[in-house]
């Protein structure tokens, strides 16, 4: 019998802390951009790279491919339920990331409109994701912890681990944890409270 010592949603929560760290970085970038009228292109590109690979590729993938379908299989309505709202917000986030990527390109070519576009998109994205994370942690995750059996929880942890394994055995995940810390140091943003490399880990990979 496998003993479940943590909820899969705890892993997701720890990933949220890392994502929030990068949201603070993005907020700071937008603030500076607003004050100085020019965009720090390398820092913006690193933040966007993190959002694409870690936030979307690692984190949203675990939710969309595994957590949401399992909840729906256990009775959460697929249409118009909380998982539908979360999917829709992930899509909105992707559109903001695409718009920011375009804006960075234009700003680097000297288009001032793209500088203001970047600021607006960055602020909208930060608002969206913070709100999204709050909804998941206050509503969806407690619901999941209740609705899923311990066998479900175990299967979910194993599925999360597989998501990491697909990415060069967690190497990609670790790489982006470092990127988040380096970017925060460069922009003087504090690191999150949780010890992301401790026994609880921030991904299934660090459980090994
Ligand atoms: Fe989500
Ligand atoms: Fe999430």
- How many helices (H) and strands (E) the chain has is answered by 9, 0
- Whole-number Å distance, alpha carbon 132 to ligand 2 midpoint, is 7
Low-confidence spans in the chain with pLDDT less than 50: 195, 197-200, 204-208
Return the ligand number nearest the Cα of 87: 1
**Confidence (pLDDT) at 200:** 43
- Whole-number Å distance, alpha carbon 33 to ligand 1 midpoint, is 28
**Model-level pTM?**
0.90
- Whole-number Å distance, alpha carbon 60 to ligand 1 midpoint, is 5
**Confidence (pLDDT) at 116:** 96
- Whole-number Å distance, alpha carbon 31 to ligand 2 midpoint, is 25
Q: Could you tell me the CA-to-CA distances from 28 to 33, 78, 81, 92, 96 in Å, in that order? A: 8, 37, 34, 21, 17
**Confidence (pLDDT) at 205:** 44
- Whole-number Å distance, alpha carbon 112 to ligand 1 midpoint, is 33
pLDDT tens for each residue of 38-58:
899 999 999 999 999 999 999
Q: List residues, by chain if needed, whose CB lies under 5 Å from ion ligand 2.
A: 136
If we measure between CA atoms, which residue out of 194, 197, 153, 208 comes closest to residue 16? Answer: 194
């Amino acid at each position: 019998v496998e003993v479940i010592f943590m909820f899969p949603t705890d892993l997701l929560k720890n990933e949220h802390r890392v994502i929030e760290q990068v949201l603070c970085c993005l907020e700071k970038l937008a603030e500076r951009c607003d004050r100085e009228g020019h965009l720090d292109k390398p820092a913006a590109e690193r933040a966007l790279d993190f959002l694409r690979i870690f936030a979307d590729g690692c984190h949203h993938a675990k939710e969309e491919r595994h957590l949401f379908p399992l909840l729906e299989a256990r009775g959460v309505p697929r249409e118009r339920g909380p998982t539908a709202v979360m999917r829709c917000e992930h899509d909105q986030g992707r559109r903001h990331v695409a718009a920011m990527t375009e804006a960075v390109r234009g700003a680097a070519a000297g288009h001032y409109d793209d500088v203001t576009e970047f600021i607006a998109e960055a602020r909208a994205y930060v608002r969206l994701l913070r709100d999204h994370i709050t909804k998941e942690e206050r509503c969806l995750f407690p619901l999941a912890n209740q609705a899923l059996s311990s066998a479900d929880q175990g299967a979910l942890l194993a599925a999360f681990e597989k998501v990491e394994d697909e990415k060069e055995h967690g190497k990609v995940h670790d790489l982006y944890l470092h990127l988040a810390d380096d970017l925060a140091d460069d922009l003087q943003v504090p690191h999150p409270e949780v010890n992301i490399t401790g026994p609880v880990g921030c991904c299934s990979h660090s459980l090994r």
